[in-house]
Structures are given as C-alpha cells and as structure tokens.
C-alpha cells in the first residue's frame, strides 16, 4: 500500500523530467533552431550560441547595402534586448532593440538609447532600424530586426540582456548576477563567421565560447536536477517497500 501511495509523486517527477528534457530553448544550439528572416523568408547566414544568459543570435550581413538582419532569442518573463554600442564595449552608449512582454501577454518590440546606467530612454537610434518585431515561440522570446552598420565594418560591439520585470512598456532593472554583467562582446560580420565573446574582445570562430551550465537557463536545469533526484529517491523507496 505504501508503494502505491508514492506512485502519484513518481508520476509528477517523471513529468518534470520530461518537461526539462523537452525544453526547446535550452536543449538546442543555434544551428538546430529553425529561424528565418521574415523579410526574405530565408534562413540567416550565420548564428552563434552566445556565451551568457542562454541566448542565441542569428544574423545575416549584407555588405552591398551595409545592413545587418538579426534574430535574438532568449528566455525571459519580462524583456530581452540585443544592442550595438557604436563607441565602446559595454552597456553605456548602447543602441538597443528590445522585446517586452506586456500585462495582457502580448510582446512589443521597441528601440532604446542607453545613455547611462540610470537612463534608458525609448527613442530612435543613431542608425536606421526596420522590420522590427517580436514574438514568443516554444517558450522563448524572439526579437527580429534589421539595422544599418558602418560601411566596410568588419565587427561590432554587441551587448545582450534579459530581465524578468516590465513596468508598463518600460524595462525594469535586470539581475546583477555575474553573467548579466558579462553579456557583451564582439560580433564579426565577415561571411560565415559565427563568433561572439564576453569581456573585452572578440574571439575567432574556432574558439568561440558556448553557454556553460551556469550561464544557461537555471530554472530548467534546476527542475531537471530536482526531478532526477526525486526519481532516484522514490525508486529506492519503492524497492524498499517490496
């Protein structure tokens, strides 16, 4: 009888394990994601698994018209952002594309000028932006857009971020955990290069960092570990009651 009473808990543990294993955002790399540029209907030429926050970037650089089309993908309950900093590495001075979840559950895409750590203003950016939109698919927020980049540019300073709270249609401050402070790097625009790095500079595609367990999605990973632990314990208990 005791073993029968444990069956509902065992079923719940199995369900949590299956959810964790099936999570589309954390189980895929960028190369296994099906993401297309809505303006062209074609897959992006390049992609990178960003080294922090469990995020991904798909992009196509068009040297003929100095444009960059991107799809930034991350998990968040509030907002996600991908930005170019024209003047330096880091957040201050970044020109940001942002997707925000509203109170009614919809997602809106906006542009913000980050002039200081305490000033994030919705405004036009210092470069042209078009085809800006956002959606939610399979539990991930996706931010799409195209921007102009300097002619003959070979790389850009990029910054990406996620936050769990929104005030109306404005982002609230993000976590100050280490990965949130390191989510910046260099995006190389040359054809078929897919490198991104945190910290002060870029890396070559061969040594581009991939997300570590700590920098992925901690919620799903904790659920996976918890479910696995519960299953092991319950199986031992069931065996003991035989």
**Residue 185 and residue 222 in one domain:** no
**Residue 36 and residue 73 in one domain:** yes
**Residue 229 and residue 190 in one domain:** no
DSSP β-bridge partners for residue 73:
56, 142
**Residue 236 and residue 206 in one domain:** no
How many domains are contained in the chain?
2
**Residue 153 and residue 228 in one domain:** no
**Residue 72 and residue 9 in one domain:** no
**Residue 103 and residue 204 in one domain:** yes
**Residue 58 and residue 93 in one domain:** yes
* Domain span holding position 221: 1-23+217-242
- CB neighbours of residue 54 within 10 Å: 26
For residue 167, the model assigns a pLDDT of 85
For residue 30, the model assigns a pLDDT of 93
For residue 175, the model assigns a pLDDT of 77
User: What CATH code is carried by the domain that includes residue 156?
Assistant: 2.60.40
For the purposes of burial, counting CB atoms within 10 Å of the CB of 153, is it exposed (0-12), middle (13-18) or buried (19 or more)? middle
pTM above 0.75, yes or no: no
Strands (E), 12-124: 36-37, 42-43, 46-49, 56-62, 67-74, 79-84, 95-101, 107-116, 119-122
**Residue 156 and residue 195 in one domain:** yes
**Residue 109 and residue 222 in one domain:** no
Contact yes or no for 98/90 (Cβ under 8 A):
no
Residues of the chain with pLDDT below 50 are 2-4, 16-27, 192-224, 241
**Residue 112 and residue 162 in one domain:** yes
Per DSSP, helices labelled H in 33-170 are none
For residue 203, the model assigns a pLDDT of 30
For 131, list phi and psi in degrees, rounded to 5.
55, 40
**Residue 18 and residue 100 in one domain:** no
């Amino acid at each position: 009888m005791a073993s029968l009473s444990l069956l509902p808990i065992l079923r719940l543990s199995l369900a949590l394990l299956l959810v964790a294993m099936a999570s589309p955002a954390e189980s895929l790399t960028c190369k296994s994601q099906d993401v297309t540029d809505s303006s062209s209907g074609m897959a992006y030429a390049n992609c990178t698994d960003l080294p922090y926050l469990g995020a991904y970037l798909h992009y196509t650089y068009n040297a003929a018209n100095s444009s960059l089309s991107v799809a930034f993908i991350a998990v968040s309950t509030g907002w996600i952002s991908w930005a170019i900093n024209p003047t330096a590495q880091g957040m201050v001075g970044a020109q940001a594309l942002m997707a925000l979840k509203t109170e009614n559950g919809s997602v809106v895409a906006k542009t913000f000028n980050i002039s200081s750590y305490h000033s994030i203003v919705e405004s036009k950016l210092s470069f042209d932006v078009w085809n800006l939109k956002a959606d939610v698919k399979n539990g991930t927020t996706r931010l799409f857009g195209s921007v102009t980049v300097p002619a003959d540019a070979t790389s850009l300073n990029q910054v990406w971020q996620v936050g769990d709270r929104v005030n109306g249609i404005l982002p609230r401050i993000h976590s100050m955990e280490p990965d949130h402070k390191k989510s910046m790097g260099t995006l190389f625009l040359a054809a078929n290069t897919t490198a991104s790095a945190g910290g002060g500079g870029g890396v070559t595609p061969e040594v581009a960092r991939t997300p570590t367990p700590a920098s992925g999605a901690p919620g799903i990973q904790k659920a996976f570990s918890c479910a696995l632990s519960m299953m092991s314990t319950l199986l031992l208990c069931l065996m003991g009651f035989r």
